[in-house]
Structure 1
Amino acid sequence: MSRVLSMWRTTTGLPVVGATLGARAFSLLFSQQAPYFATIRPRFTEIRPNRAELVIPKRRRVHNHLGTVHAIALCNGLEAAMGALAEATVPADKRWIPKGMEVAYTAKATSDITCVAETDPEQWTGLPDEGADLHVRVSGTRDDGTVVVEGTIRLWVTPKKR
């Protein structure tokens, strides 16, 4: 089990703390590993192989000139979700790095935004030793269910160096 998935299960499974406070503790710890993620204050709600979900709270610090969640804050949330998914899913003998992101902004981000990253299990099996592109589906949704951003993040997956 990956370090990220283990930390998620530990923090959200603590009986004294509870799942909600454990998820907040995990979110803070995760943001310390990649400090730029802290700028959006992600609140992770789910992490498991092939799926990660977090919420970007709508607050002034992430607003654009229209008072909606800024496009780059949305991309930051999508990348954080993708990173948690990749860490929870990547085979133990592989490593990954983001290679590119393609997104479309489809509506104004006028509320908290739920960012989701997803893959299919078969995408992670039979990866060639010379490396492979792996596409992660990402989306961001308003509280009312409207999709405000969607796209793909491409990962480059290679064997770990020995």
Structure 2
Amino acid sequence: MPKRNRLALAAHLIQRLPRCLHEPLLSRLFCSQVRFAGTAGVRIQKLSDSEVRMSLANHRRARNHIGGVHAAAMALLAESASGCMVGMNLPDHKLPLIKTLKVDYLRRASGSLRAIATLTPEQRRAMQEEDRGEALVQVTLLDDSGAEPVRCEMRWAWVRKGN
């Protein structure tokens, strides 16, 4: 098992509490550091070193002019999930940096959105062992109908802090 960083340790401690507290506390932890995600209303359902699940309700502050989740809010959800996935796996002495954010809008989203981000075991190992590198983080965004309204590619890099 890899060494836990501060984010992973905090998530582990929260997940030892009653289940009804997981989502609100994990979401508060994340949104205290990524304030724009808090403003949009991003919520965390699952935070582990192998999978991150987040959601964004179709509410007024994240809505566009046609009543759906705004395109920028969709990108924020994908970037947040992928960033958390990287953050759960990088040791504290490394700095995560988004390198590319590609979002192809395929169709109008129906209702709220949920994002699922994952890493391969090889990507997780590289983040633990290599001083610098990059990884294409897989993120899937699904709407309430179960469809994928956008296709995302999030490339993250990392370097040692202080470089």
Q: TM-score, normalised on structure 1?
A: 0.87
1:6 to 9, 17, 23: 9
How far does residue 54 in structure 1 lie from its aligned partner after superposition? 0.5
Is the contact made by 1:139 and 1:151 (CA closer than 8 Å) also made in structure 2?
yes
How far does residue 140 in structure 1 lie from its aligned partner after superposition? 1.0
In the aligned structure 1, how far is the partner of 2:96 from the partner of 2:135? Answer: 9
Kindly provide the CA deviation profile for residues 87-128 of structure 1, in whole angstroms up to 9, marking residues without a partner as x: 111245533211110111122122110012121120233465
Partner of 1:117: 117
Mapping 1:19-98, distance limit 5 Å: 19-91=19-91, 93-98=93-98
Most deviating of 4-13 and 77-86: 4-13
Partner of 2:151: 150
Kindly provide the CA deviation profile for residues 54-113 of structure 1, in whole angstroms up to 9, marking residues without a partner as x: 110111111111100011001111111112111111245533211110111122122110
Is the contact made by 1:107 and 1:146 (CA closer than 8 Å) also made in structure 2?
no
Q: Percent identity?
A: 25
Amino acid at match of 1:41: G
Amino acid at match of 2:154: I
Amino acid at match of 2:73: A
When residues 124 and 144 of structure 1 are mapped into structure 2, their CA distance, relative to the original with a 3 A threshold, is: same
Amino acid at match of 1:4: L
Tell me the matched-pair count: 158
How far does residue 22 in structure 1 lie from its aligned partner after superposition? 2.5
When residues 128 and 27 of structure 1 are mapped into structure 2, their CA distance, relative to the original with a 3 A threshold, is: closer
Q: What is the DSSP-based 3-state SS (H/G/I as helix, E as strand, rest coil) of the residue aligned with 2:26? A: helix
How far does residue 143 in structure 1 lie from its aligned partner after superposition? 2.0
Runs of 4+ off more than 6 Å: none
Q: Cα RMSD between the aligned structures? A: 1.9
Amino acid at match of 1:150: R
Matched, 1:132 2:133: yes
